[in-house]
């Protein structure tokens, strides 16, 4: 396939953040600050060996193809995470599908995948491709746009809009939400998620709805704190966190990195910023909408 241009929304740094969020409690700046090319490549290699490819969904690659759109569709129609705008010869995919194309695509599809993956220098080396450049390296900085409501934080990590929302891309880190809220978030399967793991990260707080009657809230707080006290006691007694977590309440807070096409985000905002959405996820959706400027349209 003839490629005239490749453009990346995200990059190795965003893939690395996606991987680290599941195991780290450090702030974004701390995770980026420890990211050397060697460390990133080693982590990517481990993820590839383990088959944990979902992390590699946290970026978008826009590719302008000069071939006949019908031929391109016939080669790519069965691949997930690929979108094609025939009128402008633009297709977009994420690095995960490019990795999968290298493993089992036909020769032309594999060649396409190799060419686009070279725009991710560190991931390219991890999958065995020759790649120049060192990626973000030490000192790479993410320009965060953040908002907080009721101790819930939403950080916009990346904004890369496009006239056709199928090719626009945004990434957010959401912190301080309950497991109730995160369970609702991950139902939006057109988006990609990496959530902090309770197997390896000790729970440190909880969230309860701010609109509750004060006495009812105190009753809930007592029960949550009782469960947490038992949890900490089990961990101190030598019980592995992955086993002790069985008694944790859904109020326990978590952090989650979410990324995806603007078409999926617009659908999310339309549903979750609506007045009838549960209050916690509504707060998150409204912050995402304000930070990104994305607006639902009729028929999205």
Q: Which residues are catalytic?
A: 272
Q: What span, in angstroms and rounded, lies between the C-alpha atoms of 103 and 92?
A: 19
Chain CA centroid to CA 223, Å: 32
Burial of 218 (0-12, 13-18, 19+ CB in 10 A): exposed
Cα–Cα dist 259/61, whole Å: 13
In angstroms, rounded to a whole number, what is the distance separating the alpha carbons of residues 62 and 188?
Answer: 23
Spatial neighbors of 47 by CB under 8 A, at least 6 apart, are: 19, 53, 55, 56
Q: How far, in Å, CA of 109 to CA of 128, rounded? A: 17
Report residue 94 as tokens.
Answer: 């994420």
């Amino acid at each position: 396939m003839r490629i005239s241009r490749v453009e990346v929304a995200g990059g190795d740094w965003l893939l690395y953040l996606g991987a680290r969020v599941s195991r780290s409690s450090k702030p974004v700046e701390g995770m980026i600050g420890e990211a050397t090319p060697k460390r990133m490549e080693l982590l990517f290699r481990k993820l590839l060996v383990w088959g944990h490819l979902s992390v590699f969904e946290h970026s978008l690659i826009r590719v302008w193809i000069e071939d006949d759109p019908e031929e391109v569709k016939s080669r790519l129609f069965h691949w997930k995470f690929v979108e094609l705008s025939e009128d402008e010869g633009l297709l977009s995919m994420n690095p995960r599908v490019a990795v999968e194309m290298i493993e089992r695509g036909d020769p032309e599809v594999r060649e396409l995948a190799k060419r686009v993956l070279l725009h991710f220098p560190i991931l390219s080396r991890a999958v065995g491709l020759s790649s120049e450049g060192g990626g973000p390296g030490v000192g790479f900085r993410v320009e965060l746009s953040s908002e907080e409501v009721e101790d819930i934080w939403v950080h916009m990590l990346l904004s890369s809009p496009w006239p056709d929302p199928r090719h626009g891309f945004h990434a957010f880190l959401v912190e301080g939400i309950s497991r109730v809220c995160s369970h609702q978030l991950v139902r939006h399967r057109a988006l990609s998620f990496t959530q902090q793991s309770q197997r390896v990260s000790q729970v440190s707080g909880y969230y309860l709805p701010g609109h509750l009657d004060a006495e009812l809230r105190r009753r809930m707080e007592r029960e949550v704190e009782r469960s947490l006290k038992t949890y900490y006691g089990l961990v101190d007694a030598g019980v592995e966190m992955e086993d002790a977590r069985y008694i944790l309440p859904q109020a326990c807070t978590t952090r989650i990195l979410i990324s995806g096409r603007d078409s999926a985000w617009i659908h999310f905002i339309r549903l979750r910023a609506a007045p009838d959405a549960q209050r916690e996820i509504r707060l998150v959706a409204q912050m995402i909408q304000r930070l990104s400027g994305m607006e639902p349209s009729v028929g999205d």
